[in-house]
Structure 1
């Protein structure tokens, strides 16, 4: 009998516990644990609906506050909406409580919960764009070793380490910090070592560069032997980094002229078809065949013998008819007829601007884009080096002005971008300056940096496009003008409109006591939307939107930072 009573009593206890357990499960879905908070907002003991309302109200003033990122002495503000950050309120409440069979969650209803981070709804594309914009102002491109041959003598460029922002890591830190801490987010930076160090550069000078220009290369043409002097091939020669080692490279285009000139006594140069421009129209200038040495073949043959001596320093070549790469028939088939877009920008007088912009303009002038072909500024203009005809001038680097080779070339890119914009060409890649420069059209400008930032646009038409570019140089009393025109067959009339500026960012102040310092006035940062409208027959047929993000530019004072009182 006593055993039976014991079993009955045990069954009653189990039933009570089961009922309590089920009741606990139900209660976990009706209110959150006591002393629970989400992103610092108290939601303890509330029903899920009430907790959502409380969280929405509690974060109302905080969700629009900018996230502050720091790099060295600079502060950079990141607008949450610009970075694609939003709070998923229902998911945040659910993560802090909710129906559960876990006894610990049931006990927490009375004993108390804990602090929870919010659950975020992140637009990864916007966050990546915001991070990339900041990285542009912080990254310092690595400078690889290089040897060029001005005046037919080796000139070495020493390698220099760069740094770059690990963008995925930085994006994760921004996500983790938003609404969870008042501390600034430090911009992470990783050092990037050049592929070849100074010792490797010295070895290349000794083993490649010096032998390469030690004497002429013998050209065996039929029964004759002609010396190709160092001065003929040196402008086309460079020693560059490839796959982690330094190798000689001969540019066939730069080699073409001496191979068909009186330097070698062989033949005459083939002339490609081209265009001249009259009254807004493009007229084909016929091509001409030549006689000489094929530069592509010669470039390949020269490289392996440049480090040889004696009889081995020679190559056997054939002089033959050389057809132009771009014939009259090719030019006529492109259907290039008329001006389809143009743009002009002005610049204050500076000798370096006259030199650098004229050199870059010369290189893009006459470039032809066949249907579907993409223009790359860096590929066409090449690296801005002294050997390529560029001089030192001011560029934006790391968010401040610095003096580097090629300063002012971004104005050529900006003008070309706008000419392509109004010609209706496809925008493949462009990068506004880190901060706004008021001589450029706001939101419609493009900076470039060889090896990292390019300007690229594509010809979307069934006909070709040819670029005309030139500089009206400045003088001490007049401004200079950079001009770019596009010729093809007109399909659209393109117009531009813009939003008001928004998301303003205020500049700070930084001090620089290095010799590289350039004093700088502060510039307010902002965002702006640019709309490109395409018209046919007076009717708008499509619209494209692009947003430019400008960081604030700090006031830069040359000198040491004053000590605090």
Structure 2
């Protein structure tokens, strides 16, 4: 019999234990101290965001790493919902977002907030995972899942709706399935928060109890679909409305509790809020803004240019939130499109150029847009003043350099109508006016005017003692433009729109002299004029009809408005 062994217990003095603990505390504190010092502007090692390591990175580096990591995880931006051999692919490229900034901030704050012992594990480099909240467009994703569920459930024949839309036939005895859309969506979100964007098997129910009554009722029901107006290629398409259906989950619960698996349910129709007739009565029912300018119908070339440009914008429809671009809609002005030569501004002078006159179309549209209270995106005033509308209401364009653009900032589509007929050019913007009592007045306030300089050219080509005015010239001006909102004729508010700066056009006079010899050169001198200040206000109602500028501009002082002054190299080459 082997000798008995005694259990020997080794007693460690409390003093040693205490020393070890003190040592560990000192070491940990030292590590923490040096870690805090080293990572003062960096995330502590061991920290991850959604499975992506961001330790030792600055906040900016971490943000970029997580952003790129999510893009790589999403791959081709396609998520597939699956059931057996069925598959439904969904493009999520524009339907998913993540709050990278919040996650990076939480990662940087890890180890820097809370008490010392809570921060210590992070400081010394133990793994810490910060969740990244990925957000889907829930309505879009659930609609995609529902569309796939319809296909699955149609095959399983758990329910069907009678042709007269009055009865739902339910059969829970065939081993059919009901797709749980909500649970499938949550599974998708859970995966995404872990940076997983792989295929998602839909969650299905094959056995049903009373607690499933709401789910069954949800799958049988269909929400109503409102009629909607969509814009495709600047033309309107109305999508028809559809009535919805619903059943009472209480009836389903009662039948299941009674042990019934085959039963009928009354169907309640749910009318949509917006029908096609509602849309047709509302869309384009109101004139939001209207403006008319006059033109010289005897000037065939200029008139033809206006007709062509107006034809391009006539009937254009702009969807809510979308922008109208004049150059994009009208395109390049060329002889091939029928444009003629007419007066244009070139290098500070009036010359002939293709498309002259279409800036009157642009300016008339801009004035109608102002009265429609639509948001201006791009607008430049002319270098010189024009006389067919008040200063500050003109706009210029030039193919390839200067555009005119505005945004439909209403909740409904808007439509442009344009006519050029019998010397009157009228543009209307049609839409739905939410506030029928509100009216708008455009007011231009002249800040200053500047008369033109005069250039005198001495030339033997003109009879001695006579003068010829080669270019009349005109004054420049600085004008501020305001939107004045009226209710029942009383001003409610006044909103500054822009400042327009117009340069004075030089007056050129040729004086005749007697030729002494054939070699006498022409000489010229410039006579400056003093700058004058003038304050005043001019307002025009939408119905005001204004005279068009003649082919050579008058020398009178006009009033106008503008955005930042346009360099001479960007003068309108599309006409006065």
TM-score by length of 1: 0.38
TM-score by length of 2: 0.37
**Higher RCO (Cα < 8 Å, 6 or more apart):** 2
The structure with the larger Rg is 2
